[in-house]
Amino acid sequence: MSTLYELVEWEDLGFNLPQSLPYPSAITIAEAVSNIRSAGTFVVAVENGVRRPLTIAEELEFQSTYRDHMNRILPSAA
């Protein structure tokens, strides 16, 4: 079983859109995170063509990777 990660947008009502963003599926969470451009975008796992929420371990990796990504692309507040 192979897991890929893709970005999806979050609608105002809290439901993910039926179509993923125009990014290819990523093999790693870090690859997916590198394409995030807005707060309304998040990463989901895809196994056998079916989306699922991230596991606890994947969520922790996502949070760490996202923080590192944002620290690189946003100017320092200092």
Per-residue pLDDT tens for 17-67? 545 555 667 888 888 888 877 667 778 888 888 888 899 999 999 999 988
d(CA 8, CA 12): 13
Looking at residue 61, its amino acid is E
Predicted TM-score (pTM) of the model is 0.71
d(CA 5, CA 35): 11
Q: Is 78 a member of any domain?
A: no
Q: Is 18 a member of any domain?
A: yes
CA 9 to chain centre: 9
Q: 10 and 18 in contact (C-beta within 8 Å)?
A: no
d(CA 69, CA 39): 13
Domains of the chain: total: 1
Tokens at 43, concatenated:
């990463």
